[in-house]
Structure 1
Amino acid sequence: MSVQVSRLSNGLTVATETLPHLESVSLGVWVKSGSRHETEEEHGIAHLLEHMAFKGTGRRSALDIATEIEDVGGEINAATSVETTAFYARVLKEHVPLAVDILSDILTDSKFDLEELEREQHVILQEIGAALDTPDDAVFDRFTETAFRHQAIGRSILGTPETVQSFTSEQLHDFMRRQYGADRMVVVAAGGVEHDEFVREVEKRFGDFRPRAEQTAKPQVAHYVGGDYREMRDLRDAQIILGFEGRAYHARDFYASQVLSMILGGGMSSRLFQEVREKRGLCYSIYTFHWGFSDTGIFGIHAATGDTGTEELMPVIIEELIRAGESIEQAELDRARAQFRASLLMSRESPSSRASQIARQLLLYGRPIGTEELMDRLAGLTVERLTDLSARLFSSRPTITAIGPVGRLMPLNTIRDALSHHRPRSIAI
């Protein structure tokens, strides 16, 4: 199995990975445009556009789009993230031409009908309300807003009720013209697909797509600032995130940060899970994450605890972060590498995961990256490098967001001072 890549005359990148044992194909169009490419007045328009793409074209109604793909047993969907938007489908291999045709139709001829627009705006308003009513969703939105204050990268992907209701059909068409061009798009398929046949289908449907987006300016450079956000709610549990500036995809320490996240909170054997949940019973859920972006990143610890656990929780987490800057065992590094390798290999068994991985690599690095190359990068990591990264990362400015009964949660200044001075025994529990 290997990835094949071609480029059409208009600059559109087309890639496939043939998995001959499969009868299905996962395919999609990934666009290098997401919520951070919006102006302040456009907050939420990328997500609304993703919804509206399925609401009718010159050739198909919204119902036609749904029924044509489901008549052959296929699936179609889309997703908006901070830096990309994806439109994707999964079908049996004989129905790939239909899927390519529908995807091209919604990206080249969407009408953005006024009646459909008003209906979808109402749907998204409900989605925003549901997110605000769900503390474990809301805490993540507040987290990025606090970490990247007053920046597009920190804003909620959904937008606000005011901005979402303000958008017109003309604004959607204008945003698509400015952001969607062949130079910023990749079309990828994985599964029972033959590369040359797929390229011909894509050429037929996307060959006339505009070579360049009208707006080529890069989004504002992100600046991590950190800070404190706490929202008292009358709940039975508290949702808490403690975070620090992470590493961008291209940064030297990106993969080291991924592995460090696994060691600290990537599974049941991880340090935080064992110490905070298993040994002390201070929360019912705790894990770490590291999100990379094109020019920055963010490292976070998410914990969910009852209203009586907030006072004891943070000192124990801080102890573990400090300890990571002093010592990491070789066995922990080996275990994290094994988890990483297993995750990569298991994802290769899913055509949807493979298509998404290939698309992400093409947009970020301009080429697909093989499993062996990734493992070589991991093989170069040492415990000394990870402890050095930990000491630097966790002594930077923290971000804390908390929702629920969080009145007894440790103050931000105390957290910052404890981590920057590396004096674990001075933290009272």
Structure 2
Amino acid sequence: MNRPVPLPLEAPETAFPTAGGTLVRRSVLASGVRVLTEAVPSARSTSIGYWVGVGSRDEQPGQYGSTHFLEHLLFKGTRERSALDIAVAFDSVGGEHNAATAKEYTCYYARVRDLDVPMAVAVIGDMVTNSVLDPEAFDVERGVILEELAMAADDPADLAGEAFFAAAFAGHALGRPIGGTPDSIRAVERDEVLDHYRQHYMPSGIVVTAAGAVDHDQLVELVAAAFGDVPPATPNPRRSAEVPAEGVEPRLELIRRPTEQVSLIRGSHGLDLRDDRRPVLSVLNAVLGGGMSSRLFQEVRERRGLAYAVSSFAPAYLDNGAFGVYAGCAPDNVGALLGIVDDEFRKMTDSGISADELARAKGQIEGALTLSLEDTDARMTRLGRSELGVGEFTDLATALERVDRVSTDDVLDLARDLLTRPVVTSVVGAVDRADLEGAPGADDV
């Protein structure tokens, strides 16, 4: 395979081998549910995911936080199973089960022995299709979510991340926190969450993926049974690109907290999922802050001892992306650390990267991609994101080939685009604005 495999919604059956010798199969059921599997011959366990193509960016006014709220509620019981029944089903076989809410999707997942796949498919399917959203459980879980938000608010790194996204995507749905805010969680009504559930958790909007010791035909039968007798439907259209976020305005978000260490993020918009320069960005990210040999790690930690943790990141969404640097340091070191970040940005836009750095970054990325596929969870996740994202499956061989084609000139061109954009800086800790020389903006939060 030397190019991505398209996953057209109108194709009822698709199958293709991967570079690693596994077989990916995809079936579109009459109900509109899409089922994708990757059979790994040596595996004894199976990772299973029920994916719903709705995330926090899809919430309407009055619903903020509903997607994450709903993720919690689906574990609280169905018409057939109590919350304890759900927990016991997995605990009694040594299985793992959990869920995750993101900005563009929600996933309910499990990992079990091959013998326990029927149980996992049935239980998660019951949660997704038959949850009752009991009013009493709703009020109890509201308190649990408020505690979760309070825990996140006590984590300076989490707080810096939320402040960065709120400023970088000001006025855009991607700038809202995934879990909502304490005010939105206190205000949201059960009827709003129930409407959110009924609107988005239809078979036509659900994708089921499995990787490991899995028989595709058996899984299709199990999934069909889990959804029961429902009217025929076609799969929901994939997410379409929306209006991109407005360009970043230089801004400083300062949140004072009596912490021993300051958490800070400096960055801007990045590349979206459809951008052909994503492999180039992977190389740039690896060289700048992607590992212990990266420029930032070596300069900030190894040479100057200014921070224990420093790294860069590049999340991508269908029509937007972000790129930034995170670090945690003593209050007295914040100004110096921000100066180093800016210096490294300038160095990369002036002269790019060396041939040695390019080779090292490619080796790092290619090795990490290969090693990640030793994990059935990663394979299951790759299937779900492929189906819900741009609608194509990118095999390891294709991904490696794209990385291998990146040149030093490519990185320099991208750096001159990406690293010259106006930046947002979020800082959480015991610092004053006067300590942040060189940081743009002037608005406290």
Normalization by structure 1: what TM-score?
0.92
Q: CA deviation at 1:215?
A: 11
Q: CA deviation at 1:136?
A: 1.2
User: How far, CA to CA, are the matches of 1:320 and 1:385 in structure 2?
Assistant: 18
Map residues 13-92 of structure 1 onto 2, 5 A cutoff: 13-92=34-113
8 Å CA contact 2:34–2:235 kept in 1: the answer is no
- How many residues get paired? 415
Q: Judging changes above 3 Å, is the alpha-carbon distance between structure 1 residues 10 and 367 closer, same or farther for their aligned structure 2 residues? A: farther
Q: Which amino acid aligns with 1:397?
A: P
Q: Judging changes above 3 Å, is the alpha-carbon distance between structure 1 residues 221 and 208 closer, same or farther for their aligned structure 2 residues? A: farther
Q: Which residue of 1 aligns with 2:187?
A: 166
User: How far, CA to CA, are the matches of 2:133 and 2:120 in structure 1?
Assistant: 20
Q: Which residue of 2 aligns with 1:202?
A: 223
Q: Which amino acid aligns with 1:254?
A: R
> Any idea what SS the aligned residue of 2:186 has?
helix
User: How far, CA to CA, are the matches of 1:18 and 1:27 in structure 2?
Assistant: 12
> Any idea what SS the aligned residue of 1:288 has?
strand
Q: Which residue of 1 aligns with 2:161?
A: 140
- The correspondence for 2:436, drawn from 405, 409, 420, is 409
Q: Judging changes above 3 Å, is the alpha-carbon distance between structure 1 residues 240 and 165 closer, same or farther for their aligned structure 2 residues? A: same
> Any idea what SS the aligned residue of 1:234 has?
coil
User: How far, CA to CA, are the matches of 1:332 and 1:312 in structure 2?
Assistant: 25
Q: 36-45 or 5-14: which moved more?
A: 5-14
User: How far, CA to CA, are the matches of 2:241 and 2:191 in structure 1?
Assistant: 22
Tell me, yes or no, if structure 1 residue 363 matches structure 2 residue 388: yes
Q: Which residue of 1 aligns with 2:267?
A: 243
User: How far, CA to CA, are the matches of 1:137 and 1:48 in structure 2?
Assistant: 19
8 Å CA contact 1:69–1:75 kept in 2: the answer is yes
Q: CA deviation at 1:171?
A: 2.0
* Unmatched segments (≥5 aa) in structure 2: 1-21
Q: Which amino acid aligns with 1:349?
A: E
Q: CA deviation at 1:301?
A: 0.2
Identity of aligned residues (%): 35
- The correspondence for 1:304, drawn from 320, 328, 332, is 328
User: How far, CA to CA, are the matches of 1:396 and 1:49 in structure 2?
Assistant: 37
Q: Which residue of 2 aligns with 1:399?
A: 424
Q: Which amino acid aligns with 2:391?
A: G
Q: Which amino acid aligns with 1:381?
A: V
Q: Which residue of 2 aligns with 1:420?
A: none
Q: Judging changes above 3 Å, is the alpha-carbon distance between structure 1 residues 183 and 376 closer, same or farther for their aligned structure 2 residues? A: farther
User: How far, CA to CA, are the matches of 2:239 and 2:47 in structure 1?
Assistant: 31
- The correspondence for 1:258, drawn from 271, 274, 282, is 282
User: How far, CA to CA, are the matches of 2:237 and 2:210 in structure 1?
Assistant: 27
User: How far, CA to CA, are the matches of 1:244 and 1:152 in structure 2?
Assistant: 16
Could you give the per-residue CA deviations for residues 47-72 of structure 1, whole angstroms, max 9, x where no partner exists? 00000001010001111111122222
Q: Judging changes above 3 Å, is the alpha-carbon distance between structure 1 residues 66 and 86 closer, same or farther for their aligned structure 2 residues? A: same
8 Å CA contact 1:153–1:222 kept in 2: the answer is no
8 Å CA contact 2:37–2:214 kept in 1: the answer is yes
> Any idea what SS the aligned residue of 1:291 has?
coil
User: How far, CA to CA, are the matches of 2:106 and 2:60 in structure 1?
Assistant: 16
Q: Which residue of 2 aligns with 1:347?
A: 372
Q: CA deviation at 1:216?
A: 9.0
> Any idea what SS the aligned residue of 1:3 has?
strand
Q: Which residue of 1 aligns with 2:14?
A: none
Could you give the per-residue CA deviations for residues 332-356 of structure 1, whole angstroms, max 9, x where no partner exists? 1121111111111111111111101
Q: Which residue of 2 aligns with 1:382?
A: 407
User: How far, CA to CA, are the matches of 1:195 and 1:65 in structure 2?
Assistant: 24
Q: 318-327 or 260-269: which moved more?
A: 318-327
Q: Which residue of 2 aligns with 1:233?
A: 257
Q: Which amino acid aligns with 2:278?
A: F
User: How far, CA to CA, are the matches of 1:341 and 1:181 in structure 2?
Assistant: 38
- The correspondence for 1:372, drawn from 397, 400, 404, is 397
Q: Which amino acid aligns with 2:407?
A: T
Q: CA deviation at 1:29?
A: 0.7
Q: Judging changes above 3 Å, is the alpha-carbon distance between structure 1 residues 293 and 117 closer, same or farther for their aligned structure 2 residues? A: same
Could you give the per-residue CA deviations for residues 354-399 of structure 1, whole angstroms, max 9, x where no partner exists? 1011111111122321001111211221100101111111111111
Q: 163-172 or 144-153: which moved more?
A: 163-172
Map residues 104-183 of structure 1 onto 2, 5 A cutoff: 104-183=125-204
Could you give the per-residue CA deviations for residues 85-130 of structure 1, whole angstroms, max 9, x where no partner exists? 0001111111111111111111111000011111100000111111
Q: Judging changes above 3 Å, is the alpha-carbon distance between structure 1 residues 414 and 387 closer, same or farther for their aligned structure 2 residues? A: farther
> Any idea what SS the aligned residue of 1:304 has?
strand
8 Å CA contact 1:254–1:292 kept in 2: the answer is no
Structure with larger RCO (C-alpha < 8 A, sep 6+): 2
- The correspondence for 1:323, drawn from 340, 343, 347, is 347
Q: Which amino acid aligns with 2:390?
A: Y
8 Å CA contact 2:62–2:188 kept in 1: the answer is no
User: How far, CA to CA, are the matches of 2:370 and 2:92 in structure 1?
Assistant: 33
User: How far, CA to CA, are the matches of 1:216 and 1:328 in structure 2?
Assistant: 37
Q: CA deviation at 1:278?
A: 0.7
8 Å CA contact 1:282–1:313 kept in 2: the answer is yes
8 Å CA contact 2:239–2:389 kept in 1: the answer is no
User: How far, CA to CA, are the matches of 1:354 and 1:272 in structure 2?
Assistant: 31
User: How far, CA to CA, are the matches of 2:236 and 2:393 in structure 1?
Assistant: 27
User: How far, CA to CA, are the matches of 1:170 and 1:193 in structure 2?
Assistant: 38
User: How far, CA to CA, are the matches of 2:83 and 2:187 in structure 1?
Assistant: 22
Q: Which amino acid aligns with 2:413?
A: D
Q: Judging changes above 3 Å, is the alpha-carbon distance between structure 1 residues 218 and 4 closer, same or farther for their aligned structure 2 residues? A: closer
8 Å CA contact 2:366–2:403 kept in 1: the answer is no
8 Å CA contact 1:180–1:213 kept in 2: the answer is no
Q: Judging changes above 3 Å, is the alpha-carbon distance between structure 1 residues 206 and 337 closer, same or farther for their aligned structure 2 residues? A: farther
8 Å CA contact 2:238–2:389 kept in 1: the answer is no
- The correspondence for 1:93, drawn from 105, 114, 124, is 114
Normalization by structure 2: what TM-score?
0.89
Q: Judging changes above 3 Å, is the alpha-carbon distance between structure 1 residues 103 and 259 closer, same or farther for their aligned structure 2 residues? A: same
- The correspondence for 2:318, drawn from 279, 291, 294, is 294
Q: Which residue of 1 aligns with 2:5?
A: none
Q: Which residue of 2 aligns with 1:273?
A: 297
Q: CA deviation at 1:189?
A: 0.5
8 Å CA contact 1:18–1:191 kept in 2: the answer is yes
Q: CA deviation at 1:217?
A: 8.4
